[in-house]
Chain A
Amino acid sequence: MARLQFHPCGNYRESYGEELRIFETDYGRAALLAGLVLLFAVVPFISSAYFLYVINLAGIAVIGAVGLNILIGFTGQISLGHGAFIGVGAYGAAILATSLHLPLFLAVPLAGCVTAAVGMIFGIPSVRLKGLYLAIATLAGQFIIEYVLIQWEGLTKGTMGIVLPQATLFGLPISGDRGFFYLIFALAVFMTWTAKNLFRTRSGRAFMAIRDNDRAAEGMGIPVFPYKLLAFGISSFYAGVAGALWAYYTMSITPEPFNLDLSIEYIAMVIIGGLGSITGSVFGALFISGLNEILRSLFDLLTNLPLLQGMELNPAALRQFVFGLAIVLFILFEPKGLAEVWRVVRSNFRLWPFSY
């Protein structure tokens, strides 16, 4: 369906199929293809090892944030336990790889499935609860999973952590940041593509109906609870895959990073990116990962300034403050997130010179 034309200046859609289209014109498709080619063929070869490390972590964050947006932004169920779910994925992969000696291509999806099961268990309260009660229930889930990760020493080795074996894919060792770049971004692109298309299917539309009005959805014959559980499952699967990749990439894991702060970080990605927008969650994940790195280098810069040499600066303090400020500012001034900014910028170009 080659439609090499510019965006129409109004809504001229004639069928539901047209409404559902991802790319309004072939230019969008071409731009995305060009972007992907740039990403896979150019980026890993021109960036330094450190930069590659940063964008690899950002790629993992993209997977997690897209998953969380499926739950919060598209189904309207708040989860404050996603940090713990990512931990479950990481530990799932680590245990599968060390105890059962499963190869990577099995361990990662299986870790995702384990996390999906755990996520569905913690989604069960959504039968009776919604809104703030559900948020609190998932908060409890976060603390309970954290406790299990630390205390179940027979399985998780407690605070000692687990060291993972070298990642291999079909006999080929995945080594270095460049190898992981391809693994992480192939998965990130694939999973983002799946998520984007999920909302063109029956289940995806059911999710959105539940978000918009759960009583109306029930009235229209959508079985609300199974779909809520499914949303928890899919979202946790994404979290699990993100965690598994994290575990393989960092080679050793401990329970510490998977705390409430990580959950908050992921919700921040979703909110800053824009609720209910897959593109937005990609932006949000990149924004937060970038912010983390900028803050780190800013802190290095500040500690090296002769003026501030005598002061005892705390890296956590600066990070906490700026992070909180970013969340607050986005909620107050751009609650629809970066996706909205992107839309406004694009429509400005499109409507030029008569933009409003």
Chain B
Amino acid sequence: MEFFLQLLINGISIGFLYGLAALGFVMIFKSSSVLNFAHGELVAIGAFLFLTLVTSAKIPVLLAFPLTLAGTFALGFLIERVFLRPLIGESLIFVIMLTLGLASMFKGIMLFVWGGNLYMFPDFLPSWLSFRGAGIYVPPVYVLSTAVGLVFLVLFGFFFKYSSQGIYMRSVADNQPAALSLGVNVRRVFALSWAIAALVAAMSGIVLGIINGINVHDLTSIGMKVFPVVILGGLESIGGAILGGLIIGLLETFTGGYLSPSLRDVIPYAVLVVILLVRPYGLFGLVEIERV
């Protein structure tokens, strides 16, 4: 029972992280229909930027955190401006390959600067964040990841529902020509969605880095984990991304705990294939699949 509870709690915290990573991915897809294969690299860049600011530049954590977010926000903006904008209206394979190429480039740069070693953040989380009781122990970082996941979910919910930029983004996602003709600045929406996505990715990268340590290969592989999550939740749904993250996180930890650790990494993809065959638009996605 204790084992079960421990797995449950691990699963939920990991799940919130997956959800958080998927959030940024959904953000981009929702507004510009771009499938971002470089998302894992954005996650890793955020974590490494934070690491460098904290350890090499010796900036206090509370200042380094907003600096990292600002830096990745700018990076996301830049990526859209330089690489994605010329491709508006091009066919899917080019967009996919462009983000794959970007992923490869970023990975190369990160390997060049930081190498393939494992780094650790200095321990800065206060211990009162942890939770102990009923025979289980929840480390502070898991509490943090759950809290961050919830906060961002609420924030994005409000952002899309009430803020003008959020409503512009939804309108662009819904019907690009109509939004354009109603005077929505579609380019700004694209740029903003990339910037926010990079920011969210950096968030999840920092939290993941606290849990598992920071390593280029581990963090970038999150980018591929995002696919089962977003397909399960529905590619357009923010809430679905979090819920999909939770389900995949729980599935992974329980498979790892009860069945076999090696099956852990492949089970999300097996689920992915089944979902794609049965319900390709996911739990909360828009039902607009055409059967040809």
Q: Cα distance A247–B92 when bound, in Å?
A: 33
Contact B104 A324 (CB under 8 A): yes
> Interface with B: A35-43, A128-136, A189-197, A229-237, which one?
A128-136
A89-129, CB < 8 A from B = 124-125, 127-129
User: How many angstroms between the C-alpha atoms of A218 and B292 in the bound complex?
Assistant: 7
Q: CB distance A325 to B105 under 8 Å?
A: yes
In-complex Cβ contact of A215 among B106, B265, B273, B292 (8 A):
B292
Task: State the Cβ distance, B38 to closest chain A Cβ, in Å.
Answer: 9
Query: For the complex, is B123 an interface residue (Cβ under 8 Å from A)?
Result: no
In the bound complex, CA of A264 to CA of B102 (Å) = 12
Q: Which positions 37-89 of chain B face chain A at CB distance < 8 Å? A: 83, 86-87
Contact between A133 and B115 (Cβ–Cβ < 8 Å)? no
* Complex CA–CA separation, A150 to B228 (angstroms): 21
Chain A residue nearest to B235 in the complex (CB): A132
Q: Which residues of A contact B96 (CB under 8 A)?
A: 78, 80, 132, 135
Q: Which of B35, B103, B104, B227 has the most CB of A within 10 A?
A: B104
Alpha-carbon distance between A139 and B221 when the two chains are bound, in angstroms = 13
Say whether, besides A318-B112, A320-B107, A267 and B83 are in contact (CB < 8 Å): no
Q: A344 interface residue, CB < 8 Å from B?
A: no
Q: Does A175 contact B (CB under 8 A)?
A: no
CB distance from B98 to the nearest CB of A (A): 5
Q: Which of A133-167 contact B (CB under 8 A)?
A: 133, 135-137, 139-141, 143-144, 147, 150-151
Measured CA separation A271–B83 after assembly (Å):
17
* A147 in contact with B93 given A264-B100, A318-B112, A320-B107 (CB within 8 Å): no
A275 contacts B292, C-beta separation under 8 Å: no
A305 at the interface (CB under 8 A from B): no
B280: A residues at CB distance < 8 A = 128-129, 133
Q: Report the separation of the CA atoms of residues A131 and B107 in the bound assembly, to the nearest whole angstrom.
A: 26
- Is B277 a contact partner of A128 (Cβ separation < 8 A)? yes
CB neighbours of A316 from chain B (8 A): 108, 111, 116
The answer, yes or no, to whether B109 is at the interface (CB within 8 Å) is yes
A321 within 8 A of B: yes
In the complex, what residues of B have CB within 8 A of residue A332's CB? 83, 86-87, 98
Let me know if B224 and A319 touch, CB within 8 A.
Answer: no
Q: A198: CB under 8 A from chain B?
A: no
Task: Tell me if A214 is interfacial: C-beta within 8 Å of chain B.
Answer: yes
Instruction: Using A129-B276, A135-B92, A271-B93 as known contacts, say yes or no to A324 and B111 having CB atoms under 8 A apart.
Output: no
Q: Which residues of A contact B101 (CB under 8 A)?
A: 268, 323-328, 331
Contact indicator A139/B102 (Cβ below 8 Å):
no
Does A282 sit within 8 A of B, measured CB to CB? no
A78-B92, A331-B87 are contacts. A139–B227 as well, Cβ < 8 Å?
yes
Within the complex, what minimum Cβ distance (angstroms) separates B129 from chain A?
34
Q: Which residues of A contact B92 (CB under 8 A)?
A: 78, 131-132, 135
Is B35 in contact with A135, judged by CB distance below 8 angstroms?
Answer: yes
In A270-329, which residues have CB < 8 Å from any B CB? 271, 275, 312, 314, 316-328
Within 8 Å of chain B (Cβ to Cβ): is A224? yes
- Cβ A144 vs Cβ B266 within 8 A: yes
Given the contacts A128-B277, A147-B265, A321-B104, A328 and B98 also touching, CB distance less than 8 Å: yes
Give A1 to B102 CA distance when docked, in angstroms. 49
Counting CB contacts under 8 A, is B2 at the interface?
no
- Is A183 an interface position by the 8 A CB rule? no
A260 within 8 A of B: yes
Q: B112 near A314 (CB under 8 angstroms)?
A: yes
Q: Does A206 lie at the interface of the complex (its beta carbon under 8 Å from any beta carbon of B)?
A: no
CA distance A268 to B112 in the complex (A): 22
**B100–A140 contact, CB under 8 A?**
no
* B119 beta carbon closer than 8 Å to chain A: no
Q: Is residue A44 contacting chain B, with contact meaning CB distance below 8 A?
A: no
| List of A residues within 8 angstroms of B115 by Cβ | 312, 314
Closest A residue by C-beta to B100 = A264
The 5 closest A-B pairs by CB, nearest first: A321-B108, A324-B104, A327-B101, A324-B105, A320-B108
11 other A-B residue contacts (CB within 8 Å) besides A78-B96, A324-B100, A331-B101: A127-B291, A128-B276, A133-B231, A135-B92, A136-B35, A140-B227, A143-B265, A144-B270, A260-B224, A321-B109, A324-B105
A-B contact pairs, 15 of them (CB 8 A): A125-B276, A130-B290, A132-B92, A139-B224, A139-B227, A151-B262, A214-B292, A316-B108, A319-B108, A320-B105, A321-B108, A324-B107, A327-B100, A328-B105, A332-B86
**Chain A residues within 8 Å of B, Cβ to Cβ:** 72, 78, 80, 124-125, 127-133, 135-137, 139-141, 143-144, 147, 150-151, 214-215, 218, 224, 260, 264, 267-268, 271, 275, 312, 314, 316-328, 331-332, 335
